[in-house]
Structure 1
């Protein structure tokens, strides 16, 4: 890809707190899946804290919504990780640990090589995808866009409709 990388965010609403036995299977797999990502072809970066994961972050008002972000060299390499290795097994079990979400949970977008997206930027990309569908600013595996960097932020910045929600999160929380 050269000078362009792919960023991704995905969010999920846990069925219970991480310490709850309901989440034990998810928590047990975190370290191995994160290590697998770190070793995967095309992996560049992932959001993490002092313990090597980002489960402590709560960027939404809902304490059970967690976020995952990463950067990859190409969309093909991210797709191979998501759907073609042990991560796919965890993905198949997601309903054991996460509630069905009422909106968009994943967004992809192109970034300049070396850029590390912030959680705020990623939340805005997810909100844009929710509000307008796939665009060069935020898209999906199903509807990808050419690897070019769209100027950011687009105008106007999307907001939830009055009294509405974005990704099932009440207005004003993104």
Structure 2
């Protein structure tokens, strides 16, 4: 049995073509509650930042551009996160993203390990995404498709 003391944080951004209240975004915005509810019920789901789209803007501003939409969640493992992100309903929306979102220059997603029970902030998440863009994959910031190993539990002897 593998014992872990960490979960996987996953942050991604999307750059909207239009404001969230624009009728051209309705195919995306009308599905948000349903897609988020599916995440909440997914195997391996731990937590997500729930106020990311309050009143069409982030409740914790992290980008000056209001069309940059953040998404932050925590999962038990990379496999659990990938099952949700790339398969099922969310996977279908991911494939259709060009209808609502612009292409982003550089990485649009980053993953890292957090101690169990930790809820990372959007500011920390942005820092991790910028680190991945500037320095490439590391234990501090990596891609979901190529995760770094989970940190070993700290020894209780000191």
TM-score, with structure 2 as normaliser:
0.88
Q: Name the CA distance, whole Å, in 2 between partners of 1:135 and 1:124.
A: 13
The CA deviation string for residues 37-73 of structure 1, in whole angstroms up to 9 with x for no partner, is 0000010000112xx8555304211111010000000
Q: 1:65 aligns with which of 63, 68, 74?
A: 68
Contact kept in structure 2, 1:47 and 1:53, CA below 8 Å: no
**Over 6 Å off, 4+ runs:** none
Render the CA deviation track for 1:67-104: whole Å, top value 9, x for unaligned. Answer: 00000000000000011211001101100000011121
- Pick one of 143, 146, 149 that aligns with 1:143: 146
Unaligned runs of 5+ in 2: 153-158
Aligned-partner Cα distance in 2 for 1:2–1:40: 20
Which of 19, 25, 28 does residue 26 from structure 1 map onto? 28
- 1:13-162 aligned at under 5 Å gives the runs 13-49=15-51, 56-57=57-58, 58-148=61-151
Instruction: Provide TM-score, normalisation by structure 1.
Output: 0.80
Q: Which moved more, 1:128-137 or 1:57-66?
A: 57-66
C-alpha displacement of 1:142: 3.0
Runs (5+) with no aligned partner, structure 1 = 150-174
For residues 66 and 53 of structure 2, the distance between their equivalents in structure 1, rounded to whole angstroms, comes to: 16
Q: Which has the higher contact order (CA 8 A, sep 6+)?
A: 2
Alpha carbon RMSD of aligned pairs, Å? 1.5
Cα contact 2:57–2:66 (8 A) shared by 1: no
What is the aligned length?
147
